[in-house]
Structures are given as structure tokens and as C-alpha cells.
Amino acid sequence: MTPRQILADFLRHEVFSLGSLSRSKSITVLAVKAQTLGIEKDISHTLAIEVLDDLVLAGDIGAWTSFGEPMLLFLDRRATAIDEQNTVIFGGAPADGELFGLLRRIATDTVFEQETSEFSPNLSEVETQSIAALVNDGKWSPSVSLSPALRKALLHLGCEPDAKLSAPADDILKEWLLTLTPASQSGGLDVSQQIVVSEDQNARLVVTAGPGCGKTHTASARVIELVKSGVSPASIHLITFTRVAAQEISERVTSALADQVYGAGIQSFTLDSFAWHLIGSIEDQAASGGFDRSIRRASALLSAREQRLLDWVGRIGHLIIDEAQDVVGIRQELCTQLIAALPASVGVTVFGDWAQAIYGAWSDQSKKTSSSASNLHSHLSASEDWKKLELSFNHRAGSSKLKALASNAREALGDTELPNKERYLLVREMLENAASTQGADLLDQRIPWSFDNLILTRSRMAAETASARLSLRGRPHRLKLSGHTQVVEPLIGAICAGKTAGELLTQSDVEQRMEALSPAPFGWTSDEAYDLLKSVAGTGKAVPRLSDIVAKIEQSPILIAHDYIGQSGPLIGSVHGAKGKEAEDVFFLMPPIPDHEDVDWDEEARVLFVAGSRASKRLHLGRTRPVFGSVRTDGSRWISGRGGGLALSGNDGLSPLPGRDAVDAIWEATFDQPRCTFRRESVDSEWHLVLQNGKAVAIAIDPLAENLNYLADGALSLPLGSLRIAGSSTVVATRRDGKPIGVSLLPVLQGTARSGSQFDEKGNA
């Protein structure tokens, strides 16, 4: 018991035994009692008055005047139901119920002879926001001035001045805030979201946002509020984890500010594209060497305070970073250097969630000094210079099972008193309890099969294996591509192939290519295709230049790119690839309990939590066989056992052949989706990707070529197997030095490349 609880309990017993008691005498007795608890004399008197007044305000004891003397009075027992589990009692015998802050509570279903009232305080919008701030701070600071109505509401909710919220009080506050009337919520925001949105534009905030808490909605509203308060849209830089999230926020902001001249121009990036733009502002070959090279280069220049880069950063008026818990390794270093380079007057809003941190394996373990430095969110949360806020309410979970999973699993993940393996097993059990279907097979007819639903696996290799199985059974689906692989609208490459970077693209050029393509582009007219090219070029010129299109394709713009292959059916991918996604029905192929050494049980538990929290209505669980294999240092994925080999999805490691013949063959294969393999003329010559009709359509480059050499073991070809053409993507054709020379088309692969003999354990080397 806290000192305040001890004093409250003592006063209840005194009033109960005597029936009434002088207020002044009560204060004196309470002050003496406080001193026996080790409280200083000058503080004990003030504390006695506060406890007495709180019990009177809450209705636990009565107050009246007898012949001018203020008195305290015993009251008969009454009760107020807070929620379905908790009822607060007032008056009556002090031994009734259990302590709940300064008051007492009983279970709501307890037989109670007196009438029970409902908890329905009449609070203003400002007062409800104060309660949300209390939830964020996790403590009721006695220095904060509160209205009597709000103070009474907090006492009824089991809160105590100068003490942390108990778990029941915290839960009740959050649940109660969800019941607030729309009038107390601004712009469709719940109270916790409104607090984030209304923070000062110069504030530096770390916002913890669990699954379904409306993080994207809040980030969009934050941007809108910044613009309305006078921040230039072009100076607001938004860095998100995926292009889809960046596009979604941009569209929401543009729509909300459509009636305002200054509403356009928000700068939205993924972290990788942000680094690309940063370096591109001072160097000609920003993209040469890939995103990782740009990130390392940008970090180094920011660390060195390179003036041209600082001038570019100086344009930022407010920075928003999303999914900070998954910003690890070199990307965490870039963000840290970027924030350090900003003037102190520039506000930063960082969103993240410790319970969804599942990219620990991507960070540089050798440089970790503590768990607090493992990702950007935990690093900033540990800093006293940042204000910590939390989005408190799950708006996604649409069933009682999923709501219980969201809250209980999160609590289990944070229970550091449990051994980490026990936490994992507990979260696993919670997923099973929340599932609408258990033990389902991938082809189970009970699983809803629609475009909007998700099929999740623990690993990328497991997703590819599941996709291959579905393809053999002819079941339509889409496969989430790995890494930075993007499918850029293939019609662009099919039209532009054969032209050099400096050429203009005329309406006549487009019409001729559209007529030559077989099969004819479905759903496209030549006018629509030309409008697309002009839009991609983005120069506003009547006749676009190919070099402008090349520059935009190198950035994989959201409007012409997506990160999956396939046309219909649910999306299959790893849990990591599903970050930011949700679906009414989620089918999770839950892996067996890990039995290998050095298992990171905490991260495995968080992976389960992320998988289960993608569902808004129903979670379906299936079992999957372990997929054994390894990922090499070059990023290649090797699957061992029967049907194993080099797993390929996307077009990494492929380079286009010159001319239009290969492009036309790829265009046709995009629709036919034939099997394919790799061949070469001699052991010293290049590997070519060839269709089953023998037509060569691309060249293999390192590290793919090196892996093919390993697989072939001296042979000149690999057998036809499960590898097939699953689609195609527009790419930039370059010279050997990396300089762009035009636009072409590459096939998108799906399947496994195998040697002529049974794949053996060497594939795991």
C-alpha cells in the first residue's frame, strides 16, 4: 500500500467506527499517522488534507456542518460500475472490496443489494485530453491542476496522485476513452491521436503506436495540422518504411488540403530513396552501387558535416519518420546523423513500436552495445531529450478474440520477469486461442480466398515454397517480392526499348510499338500509353525525352511500381514483408517451435505478434513443414532437400539483352508464363536465361552468374524445373560503367534453379 492508500484506509475505519468526526481533528490524526510512515511534518499536514478532500470528493465519506463545525460523516454503501469487470464502492464497511487507488472495488458480477449507478462523468474536451495525457505519462502528477469533475473521475478510475497507474487503472482508462462521444474527438481522431497531432511544430516526439492504432491516420493528420499552422508543405519530409505507406499518406494529405493553394508538395520517401535523393543533390551518380551505398555515403557526409549536404538538409521544416523500430544498422545510423544535422528548432515526429521490432537480424550485431541501441525507436525512447507519447486504442481488431490477442500478447511481450522462451510460448498459445481456424492446410477450402486477404509465412523461403505449391495446383495468388525488388509497369519498357537515352518519344513512336506488340496491351489505348509516358517523365513537355523517363524509373515511382507478382488471389509473403498491411482474413502458416541453437526468442515472439495482429476479423492458423536452407552473404537463398536449389523471385542478377527481339519475347512470356532455365555456350561464356522454346531473353550477372557456375559444376545448361516467367518489369539499361543508355524489359522469375543431379547438402555451404 502507498502512504495515501494507508491514510485513506485509516480514515475510513475512523469514520466508520465513530459515525462522524470533526474535520480538523481528522486532519490532525491523519497528519500524525503520516509522520509514523516516515513523512516529514510539514508535508504530512498537506498530505492529510489532500487525502481527506479526495475521499469526500469521490463520495467515499460525507461532509456536513454541525453548529458551524465542519464534520465528516459515515455513508451507506453505494456502487458505480466502471466496466464489465470492475465496480467501485463507496461508504459502507471499510473491509468491503479490495483497494483500487484510494477507493475500493468489487467484481461487477458480485451480488449487490444496493442499486449500482453507471460511470458517466460529464467532461469537457480539454479534460478528456488531460486523461489521455495521463495515460501517455503513466502517472498522475499532483502538480497538475485538475477540475473537480476530472479529479473525481480519476479517483473513480482507481488513479492515485503521485503514483504510477496500476495495470487495471490503465486498462480502464484506455477502454473508457474509446467510448467518448464524437463531439470530444477532432477530425475523426481519438484522444491519444489528437494529442500527437496538436503538439507544437518544433517538438521532438517519439510516438509508440501498436498495431491498428491508426498510425498512418495520425501521421497524415499531423502533416495536415503542420501545414495549416504555417509550415511550408515542401519543407515537410516524410520517411516511411514502404513506398505504399508514403503514397497513402501523400494522397490523404493532398485530399485533405485540396481546397488550399499551399496544400501540395509534401516530400514523401522511403529511407532508401531519401538517401538516393540526398546524395543526388551533390553527386551525379547517386544510385550507382545501390541503396546501401547511398545510405553509407550519406551517413558519412552528414557525419563530416559536408556543407552542400547541410544546405540541402536545411530545407527541412519538419521531419517525420515511420516504423522506427525497424530502422536498424546503417539505416539507423543515417537517421541519427540526419537528426543531429537538423537545427534544434526543427521538429521531428518519430513513430514506432517496440513490440513490432522484427528486423534485429538486419542490424550490425558487432556494433551493439545494449538493447537500447538496437533500433531507432528504442534509441530515441531512451533519450531524455524526446517527449514520449503513445497511441492507445486498437481500431483494427474487430472481434473479442483479436482484441484480447492484441492486448494480452503485448503485455506478455513486455513481461521481463518471464524467461524469454516462456514469453514466446505464451504468445504462441495466445495466437492459437484467437484463431478462427486451426491446423488448416494451404489448400484448405475453409480459408477465404480473395484478393484482399493475406497468407503469411515465417520466412521468405517458406513463402516461395508455398507459392510454388499453389502454382502447381493452379490456385491463383500473388507473391510478395523480396528486398528492394519492384515490378515497374512493363508497357513502358516494351514501348521504349531500342531507343537511346537522349531521344524524344513521339506519339507516332508509341502508336507503332503498340501495334507491333503481341499480344496487344490489354486495357490500353495508344493515347493512354502516351499520357502515361508523359506523366512518368514529369517535365510537363508535350514530347517527353527518354532520359527523363530513365531518371524516374531509377527511383521506382509508386504510381507505376508494385512489389508483387501475380494478378489475382491473396497475397503471399513473409511476416517481414507484411509490415503495414492488414486484411479481414489472415492465414498464418505458423512454423514449428524452433529447436536450433541461438534462437532469439524475443524476436520470434514479436514475429508471431506481428503476424496475428494483421487480421481485422479472422485469424486462420496452419502448419508448415520446416524449409531448410540458408541465405549466403551475397543475399542468395538456397533451399535444401527434395525440390531444393537456388530460390529465385524477381529479376535480381539479370541484365537485359540489347535490341527489341528479347523484349518482344519477354512481353509474350509475361502472358504465357512459360518455364525457363539457364544455358551457356561454353564454361567461359555468359549465362543466358532461355525460355523453354530456346529463346534467350536476358543475361545473368554476378552474383547470380557465380551461383549458376556452382550449380552447373561444369555443365553448359541447367534442366527445366520449377523456374518460370511470372511477369516482367521495366528496367533501366546501363553500360558496364553504370551509365544509363535506355529503357528495356526484364522477366520476373519465380521458382528454383537446380542442377542436373539431386540437390545435396553443399547448397547450405
**What's the chain's average pLDDT?**
83
Q: How far apart are CA 665 and CA 662, in angstroms?
A: 5
Was 216 annotated as part of a binding site? yes
Backbone angles phi and psi of 125, in degrees to 5: -60, -40
Mean pLDDT of 144-166: 81
CA atoms within 13 A of residue 114's CA, in its CB half-sphere: 14
Sign of CA dihedral 257, 258, 259, 262: positive
Sign of CA dihedral 570, 574, 576, 577: negative
Using one digit for the tens of pLDDT, what is the confidence trace for 479-488?
Answer: 887 655 678 8
Q: Are 12 and 77 in contact (CB under 8 A)?
A: no
Integer angstrom CA distances of residue 713 from 206, 261, 720, 721, 755:
53, 64, 16, 17, 8
Ranking 234-243, 307-316, 357-366, 531-540 by mean pLDDT, the lowest is 357-366
pLDDT given at position 365: 41
E strand residue ranges, 512-600: 561-562, 564-565, 571-574, 583-590
Alpha-helical regions (H) of 613-743: 661-672, 704-712
> Given a cut of 80, is residue 201 above it in pLDDT?
yes
183 or 737, greater pLDDT: 737
pLDDT given at position 496: 92
Was 387 annotated as part of a binding site? no
Q: Are 493 and 730 in contact (CB under 8 A)?
A: yes
The domains spanning 191-362+371-391 and 414-484+565-623 adopt the same CATH topology:
yes
Domain parsing of the chain, residue ranges: 3-107, 125-146+160-180, 191-362+371-391, 414-484+565-623, 486-559+628-759
pLDDT given at position 483: 59
Using one digit for the tens of pLDDT, what is the confidence trace for 463-514?
Answer: 888 887 887 787 888 888 765 567 888 999 999 998 887 888 899 999 999 9
* Beta-carbon count within 10 A of 634 CB: 11
Spell out a b/e string for 561-588, using b for 16 or more CB atoms within 10 Å of the CB, else e.
bbbbbbeebbbbbbbbbbbbbebebbbb
Q: Locate cell 503481341: which residue?
A: 518
What residues are paired with 199 via a beta bridge?
A: none
Mean pLDDT of 189-206: 89
Q: pLDDT grade, residue 114 (50/70/90)? A: low
Q: 740 is written with which cell numbers? A: 544509363
Q: How far apart are CA 747 and CA 649, in angstroms?
A: 10
Mean pLDDT of 698-710: 93
Using one digit for the tens of pLDDT, what is the confidence trace for 414-470?
Answer: 998 999 999 999 999 999 999 999 988 888 888 889 888 999 999 888 888 888 788
Percent of the chain with pLDDT over 70: 84
Which class in CATH covers the domain with range 191-362+371-391? alpha beta
Q: pLDDT grade, residue 243 (50/70/90)? A: low
Ranking 53-67, 600-614, 723-737 by mean pLDDT, the lowest is 723-737
pLDDT given at position 282: 73
Residue type, 576: H
Q: Are 196 and 150 in contact (CB under 8 A)?
A: no
Q: How far apart are CA 280 and CA 193, in angstroms?
A: 36
pLDDT given at position 72: 92
H/E/C letters for each residue in 22-82? EHHHHHHHHHHHHHHCCCCHHHHHHHHHHHHHHHHHHCCCEEEEECCEEEEECCCCEEEEC
The structural architecture, per CATH, of the domain 414-484+565-623 is 3-Layer(aba) Sandwich (3.40)
pLDDT given at position 263: 47
* Beta-carbon count within 10 A of 760 CB: 11
Q: pLDDT grade, residue 660 (50/70/90)? A: very high
Integer angstrom CA distances of residue 689 from 67, 138, 519:
102, 60, 22
Phi-psi region for residue 19, left (φ > 0), alpha (ψ -120 to 50) or beta? left
Q: How far is CA 754 from the centre of its chain?
A: 36
Was 213 annotated as part of a binding site? yes
pTM over 0.75? The answer is no
CA atoms within 13 A of residue 317's CA, in its CB half-sphere: 16
Was 214 annotated as part of a binding site? yes
pLDDT given at position 745: 94
As to burial, measured by CB atoms within 10 angstroms (0-12 exposed, 13-18 middle, 19+ buried), residue 524 is middle
Sign of CA dihedral 39, 59, 87, 409: negative
pLDDT given at position 113: 58
Mean pLDDT of 643-669: 89
Q: pLDDT grade, residue 312 (50/70/90)? A: confident
Percent of the chain with pLDDT over 90: 37
pLDDT given at position 635: 74
Q: How far apart are CA 664 and CA 519, in angstroms?
A: 10
Was 209 annotated as part of a binding site? yes
Q: Are 652 and 485 in contact (CB under 8 A)?
A: yes
Was 751 annotated as part of a binding site? no
